[in-house]
Structure 1
Amino acid sequence: MTDQQAHQFERGTDGPKVILVGLDGSDSSLRAVAYAAGLARRQRALLAIVYVQPVLAAGAALGVPVAGTTDEIAESLVAQIREAAEQVKGVFETRWEFHTFRGDPYNGLVRAADDLKADAVVVGASEQAGHRIIGSVAIRLVKAGRWPVTVVP
């Protein structure tokens, strides 16, 4: 093998194939989707948008129709994404899929990243003050050390 063959660059094969982004409807998660969409477009990667439907055991025990409410939220988020995608169609083309998982946000995103074989994870910074003490989903994902994680403010 010559020196030139050993250091040959393969155009278009480097970089992530699947970029996962968490979406919960908060402003920071919407900014994270926009950022991840730009990354996916530039890398020609699939953008996997994930909404983790919370499992509220206390609400379910009281007879509150939790699943129906979270399904409505997911449908609303998909509608917003489709509308935004239509506005930039022809200018920016990004392949994307929307997925829902059930559970707490951290474990739902971990399961999604594993199931979808994500190469990178993008999340919005937590907007809750208590997370500075007990740790946010973003911090827990970074500490897991399983994927590159980008936290969007």
Structure 2
Amino acid sequence: MTEQHEEHAQRFERGTDGPKVILVGVDGSESSMRAAAYASGLARRQHALLAVVYVQPVLAAGAALGAPVLETTDEIAEDLVTQIRQAAERVRGIFEVRWQFHTFRGDPYAGLVTAAEDLKADAVVVGASEQAGHRIIGSVAVRLVKAGRWPVTVVP
């Protein structure tokens, strides 16, 4: 093998033979659950791993006031895992999807970027924002698209 060929063989390439990892961001909202359903269909058809990611928000103001922030976000994560397991069980034997659940802490955009990098995602799927203010400052989905690092699908 030539030195140039060896260097190329050792480098990671995204999406060269179809996606290997499809990342979906979930937060319990209806649009994120629709995104998870859409992403699971993609993962099934592409024989890819579905990485389901929940980014636990760090609410500094709530923590300063003594609110049990981590307990609440941990409960949300546990509920999401339960919902995903139930959905996977309902389609067992009909549709098989390999999936993993991951939690990251931070703001949703930074958490999803970190997750996509760490998990070497080939594609990212998110639900459309349901908050009116995001039309002005930009939603997580818009920021992911603008980053231009992965194909991003925004599910309404």
- TM-score of the pair, normalised by structure 1: 0.91
CA distance in 1, matches of 2:34, 2:76: 18
Partner of 1:93: 96
In structure 2, stretches of 5+ residues that fail to align are 1-15
CA distance in 2, matches of 1:149, 1:80: 24
Partner of 2:75: 72
Q: 1:123 aligns with which of 118, 126, 133?
A: 126
Partner of 2:57: 54
CA distance in 1, matches of 2:29, 2:91: 21
CA distance in 1, matches of 2:38, 2:143: 20
Give the CA deviation at 1:117.
Answer: 0.4
CA distance in 1, matches of 2:57, 2:76: 11
CA deviation profile, 1:1-47 (whole Å, cap 9, x unmatched): xxxxxxxxxxxx82000000000000000000000000000000000
Q: 2:39 aligns with which of 14, 36, 39?
A: 36
Q: Secondary structure at the match of 1:21?
A: strand
How big is the alpha-carbon RMSD for the aligned residues of Structure 1 and Structure 2? 0.7
Q: Which amino acid in structure 2 is aligned with residue 83 of structure 1?
A: Q
CA distance in 1, matches of 2:71, 2:112: 21
Spell out structure 1 runs of 4+ moving beyond 3 A: none
In structure 1, stretches of 5+ residues that fail to align are 1-12
Q: 1:145 aligns with which of 145, 148, 151?
A: 148
Partner of 2:10: none
Q: Secondary structure at the match of 2:52?
A: strand
Partner of 1:8: none
- TM-score of the pair, normalised by structure 2: 0.89
